[in-house]
Structure 1
Amino acid sequence: MTGSSRRKSAPRKAETSSPRAGGTDAANGDKPARVTTARRELVENEMYEQATRLFAERGFAGTSLQDIADAIGITRPALYYYVKSKDELLAKLVTEVTDGPLVELKELLAHTALDPVAQLRAIVEVIVRRRVTQPARFRLLIRSEAELPDELTAAYDESRRVVLKTVAQVVEDGIRAGQFRPVDARIAALGVLGLCNWVAWWFQPGGRDSEDSVTEQLADMAIAALRRADHHLLDGEGPEAALKMLRQDLDHLERIIKN
């Protein structure tokens, strides 16, 4: 009888131990999963920050995974839970910097209610905000271009081409709508992107300029550089100014047709 009681107690012990092994029950819900996810995000963010700092200070070749683990305050075997190699870590950083803005831009342009001026403003705000919140990561990407594996270089180049094409199309749409001056859309897009990306080299988080003020001012500048002025502000008043504006339009349309 005693042996039978012992045999029955074993299953009950196994059942009560299952939640501690990572399962869930009605009382705890999915709390263990949420805690694990939050912990992983915290460690990954710290990993990115420390890797960015060390890569910038010592170079990619001069930084080891042990250096990154020491900077985070975890063991190297624990770091392997988040990343398997330096190449994979650099790939994660590159993907975050390049794909993040692209995803936001695609979502933004899916809203067709925005006119070209509003679209361009939103594009500048997306890119500038990315640069001012993570300037060190973008600088690292630029400095590490020569060290990127071929597949990462190809992905990075493709991302840049898509962003450039996206901005150029918005500029072209603005020209056709009469909102932007008749300019070369590709050159204008390169200028807008240069304005946005250069922020990463001079903006200091926590400095005298706030993220919001910098983002708003650069968006205003990008729009002002392309927005079409009234004809009387271009080259005087009267029919001559209107004719010159029409000639600019015709020249631009001829360039489009030739291309």
Structure 2
Amino acid sequence: MRAVLWFRPSVLKRVALPKTHWHKKTKDVKVQQELKRRAMLNLAAHSFSTVGYKQTSLDDIAAALAVTKPALYYYAKSKEDILMQCARISLERVELCFISAQDVKGNGLDRIRVFFRVYANMVVSEFGSALMREARRNLTGENQKSLRQALIDGQNFLESIIAEGIKDGSIRNCDSKRLAQVLFSAFNQMPIWYNPKGPLNPESIADEILELIIYGVGAKNT
């Protein structure tokens, strides 16, 4: 019989947990293992993003999945390993944003628009910027070094798209590094104020943010 879910009052009780598939049965052992691993990571990412990494324990994750704590060690060496695996999923999703941008048949500005329309959806998910913020603060050693390099690579990739736009004339001559920083900063704040029940979806909000950055806020007659 499945155990009754238990949550610490100060931590997971306040969180609307996503549906998981830890207990879903399949005939393929490898598929079953991957379902369990992803169930663990989905739940952990949700809690890390909404409650915080330090406020979430392995006991919390195990209890929410209705399994024993030792069962988690089959899929992760430690809580930090779980955080790093979550961060890798986030980075993979950012890579898909860049792939979407590179597939566009257009100029540099067109690619920027496509990238951030896709990125806006990713950034407000459980594997979005709130999760990455926790990863930057709490990963240590080689994990931290690996994450930092991946973030630098992402920054450089966006700068290269901006440089393409400057070259083709779709983006005015500017410091590509500074523009990349402004764009990432604007979008990475979305989880703080985004309302999924609001009137606008992430793509529409992305368009609004880009319009403000591209055309500024000054009236045309000023």
Of residues 27, 30, 47, the one that matches 1:32 is: 27
2:201 alignment counterpart: 210
Asked if 1:171 is matched to 2:171, the reply is no
The AA in structure 2 aligned to 1:181 is R
Deviation for aligned residue 1:70: 0.2
The AA in structure 1 aligned to 2:134 is R
1:121 alignment counterpart: 113
Of residues 70, 89, 97, the one that matches 2:90 is: 97
Structure 2: distance between partners of 1:124 and 1:86:
31
Count of matched residue pairs? 194
Larger radius of gyration: 1
Structure 1: distance between partners of 2:45 and 2:104:
37
Instruction: Judge which range, 112-121 or 58-67, deviates more.
Output: 58-67
2:15 alignment counterpart: none
- Tell me if the contact between 2:123 and 2:190 (Cα under 8 Å) persists in the aligned partners: yes
Of residues 48, 63, 76, the one that matches 2:41 is: 48
Aligned counterparts, 1:149-164, within 5 A: 149-164=140-155
Structure 2: distance between partners of 1:126 and 1:210:
11
Of residues 72, 76, 84, the one that matches 2:69 is: 76
Structure 2: distance between partners of 1:104 and 1:184:
22
Q: Specify every segment of 5 or more residues in structure 1 that has no aligned partner in the other structure, as ranges.
A: 1-30, 226-232, 236-259
Structure 2: distance between partners of 1:95 and 1:54:
16
1:188 alignment counterpart: 179
Deviation for aligned residue 1:103: 4.5
- Tell me if the contact between 2:40 and 2:61 (Cα under 8 Å) persists in the aligned partners: yes
Cα gap change, 1:186/1:146 in structure 2, threshold over 3 Å: closer, same or farther? Answer: same
Runs of 4+ in 1 over 6 A off after TM superposition: none
Structure 1 length as normaliser, TM-score? 0.62
Structure 2: distance between partners of 1:199 and 1:186:
21
Q: Specify every segment of 5 or more residues in structure 2 that has no aligned partner in the other structure, as ranges.
A: 1-25
- Tell me if the contact between 2:120 and 2:206 (Cα under 8 Å) persists in the aligned partners: yes
Deviation for aligned residue 1:109: 5.2
1:19 alignment counterpart: none
CA RMSD of aligned residues (A): 3.1
Structure 1: distance between partners of 2:204 and 2:51:
33
Q: What per-residue deviation string (whole Å, max 9, x for no partner) do you get for residues 45-102 of structure 1?
A: 4423432354467654454322211012222233333323212101111112234202
- Tell me if the contact between 1:139 and 1:200 (Cα under 8 Å) persists in the aligned partners: yes
Cα gap change, 1:58/1:126 in structure 2, threshold over 3 Å: closer, same or farther? Answer: closer
Deviation for aligned residue 1:165: 1.4
The AA in structure 1 aligned to 2:31 is T
Cα gap change, 1:57/1:209 in structure 2, threshold over 3 Å: closer, same or farther? Answer: closer
Cα gap change, 1:205/1:73 in structure 2, threshold over 3 Å: closer, same or farther? Answer: farther
- Tell me if the contact between 1:174 and 1:180 (Cα under 8 Å) persists in the aligned partners: yes
The AA in structure 2 aligned to 1:93 is C
Deviation for aligned residue 1:181: 1.4
Relative to its length, the structure with more helix (as a share) is 1
SS across alignment from 1:195:
helix
Structure 1: distance between partners of 2:188 and 2:214:
16
Cα gap change, 1:186/1:71 in structure 2, threshold over 3 Å: closer, same or farther? Answer: same
